[in-house]
Structure 1
């Protein structure tokens, strides 16, 4: 199983960060169609799906935001855990554990891709492989300092990692 963070991992949401911080989700949704998906993400998700991997998104946003992108881009992601699905948000591992439970996945076969130290901490709490996605970070030093199991500066680097780890074609 592969669990992705959403903001700054799959989609560049930096232009609406002030709206997210204010919890103005209506305004975020009004801008959603203008938010760019990082180069290579859609292809990577399709490749991972074709190789038989279950994928999920666990985000501190409401699930309506990533579900908009899943629908618009045809992403093969069935499990979306938003902030209202859990009592404890990241860095607590509750969201990751819930996604794994829904998928019937074990920690030793689960990867979590995220751009913040809280993602690494949540991965550790859930006992899954922590993968740092630095391509959306202005300053990746805090992510690096959180010591993820591996860290990537591009989606293509992550693709090569999964190709080696999961035998992607």
Structure 2
């Protein structure tokens, strides 16, 4: 199974940097990375992912420098990344998800995508990739759920249950 993850508010609690990310004040956002917090259970999720050798790609609307800094600080080691400058069109368009599939050398039915915003779900659904709404970081749950995710998870550890189910 190939995994596609949004970064901010899906893998890591980066709420304190949101105003700076939205305003493209990247130096300030970079300075806050050590202050981000790990979601409870995310380490166990990635232990499971690494133990099973699942390849994963991070798809983010942030620039690659930011994504690299967050991954380095918090121990994420994605096989691939799709960042802001990698595609002309951004989520909710499926282009970033399709690029992730291409990098992973995977078909849509060989992947699953995780995100906290409706744009993550819409992009995944448009690429025919099963989508997972991650509620722990969602700022607008109603809009997220109205995007029709394939699965809904309330906390990170539920990701493991989905992955176990898909691989049986």
Check whether TM > 0.5. yes
- Equivalent positions of 1:27-46 (< 5 A) are 27-46=28-47
Deviation at 1:145, TM superposition (A): 1.2
Deviation at 1:138, TM superposition (A): 3.9
Superposed CA offset, 1:100-132 (max 9, x none): 111111111110100111111101111100110
TM-score of the two chains, using structure 1 as the length reference: 0.92
Superposed CA offset, 1:61-117 (max 9, x none): 112223223223332312111101110010011111111111111111110100111
| Matched-pair contact (CA < 8 Å) for 2:20–2:28 | yes
- Equivalent positions of 1:64-75 (< 5 A) are 64-75=65-76
Over aligned residues, Cα RMSD in angstroms?
1.4
In structure 1, how many angstroms separate the alpha carbons of the residues matched to 2:62 and 2:71?
14
Most deviating of 48-57 and 79-88: 48-57
Deviation beyond 3 Å, 4+ runs, structure 1: none
1:136 equivalent in alignment to 2:137: yes
**Count of matched residue positions in the alignment of Structure 1 and Structure 2:** 167
Alignment partner, residue 77 of structure 2: 76
- Equivalent positions of 1:3-82 (< 5 A) are 3-82=4-83
Uncovered stretches (5+) of structure 2, i.e. residues with no partner: none
Most deviating of 34-43 and 108-117: 34-43
Deviation at 1:149, TM superposition (A): 0.4
TM-score of the two chains, using structure 2 as the length reference: 0.93
Most deviating of 71-80 and 114-123: 71-80
